[in-house]
Amino acid sequence: MAGTASGGSRRSRLAPYLLVAPGILWLLVFFVVPTLTLAQTSVTGTEGPWWEAYHRALSNYGTHFFRSLRYALGATLLSLAMGYPLAYFIAFRAGSLKNMLLGLVVLPFFTTFLVRTFAWKTILNDGGPAVWLLKQLHILGEGGRLLDTTIAVVGGLTYNFLPFMILPIYVSLEKIDRRLVEAAEDLYSTPMGAFRKVVLPLSLPGVFAGSLLTFIPATGDFINAQLLGSPNQQMIGTVIQNQFLEVRDYPLAASLSFVLMAVITVGVLAYARVLGTEELA
């Protein structure tokens, strides 16, 4: 009988592992295995040494990498600048409108990414309303365009990823106990001081999550640059897509993907460090 008893306790000790097993399995099959395959592709199938594809990736596509990072950073900063005040308003001031406003933030997701970006193409078109208006205001010159410019691509990225910035910030703001703000004001902080010393630090986890959710997919994005930009605005995602689907240079495409992953990982770690130390101060 002792055997059954110990069997029971062994089962209960295994329970947590059994609970995470489906998730682990999913990641193994759909993430780890493809990544390993990709890694293998990146170092085989070329004539030269194993790093030949990486060499080509770094020497020929440096500008694309830097452009992608710049655009993604721009889109992230713009999203933050627009998203934080909006999330703050929804969390602290919207009152009974809160749920409706949150609904509006999520509403664009009801149409697909592709269709929405195409809609932007229509809006920014040479004969479209945006160009017409800017020309009327003499902001844009006679031959001026919006489409195929950096503004269009960064704008499109910002538009597409803005909800991913707003929602995590909203959640972290929503969680803040309003009495903390009262306590700060009771302790001689002006409303602005209370925001700076209490609300902002406590919402940093949301800012961090929102920035990652915007920056990472924006860096690898290939739709916005393709639809709203010219070859001069080409981002690394477009190059990878092109190499995989058109040129079919698989080793190059795979090595470009790994370089992108490495760059993003380094960037994220650096960012985490900055925000992390700020939180401790």
How far the first Cα of the chain sits from its last, in Å, is: 58
* Residue with Cβ nearer another protein (126 or 177): 177
Smallest separation, CB 32 to another protein (Å):
36
Q: Which two tokens stand for residue 44?
A: 């085989």
Q: At a CB cut-off of 8 Å and minimum separation 6, what does 25 contact?
A: none
Alpha-carbon dihedral sign for residues 141, 146, 147, 149: positive
Give least dist CB 206 to another protein, A: 13
In order of 72, 161, 163, 177, 193, the CA distances from 106 in angstroms are: 21, 11, 7, 25, 31
**Cβ-based nearer residue to another protein, 126 or 186:** 186
Site residues (CB under 8 A) for another protein?
177, 179-180, 182-190, 193, 197-198, 201-202, 279
Contact 154, 82 (CB under 8 A): no
- The minimum distance between CB 188 and another protein, in angstroms, equals 4
Q: Considering the complex, state which of residue 176 and residue 261 has its C-beta at the smaller distance from another protein.
A: 176
Looking at the Cβ atoms of 45 and 205, the one nearer to another protein is 205
Query: Cα torsion at 163, 169, 172, 173 (round to 10°)?
Result: -110
Shortest Å, Cβ 120 to another protein: 39
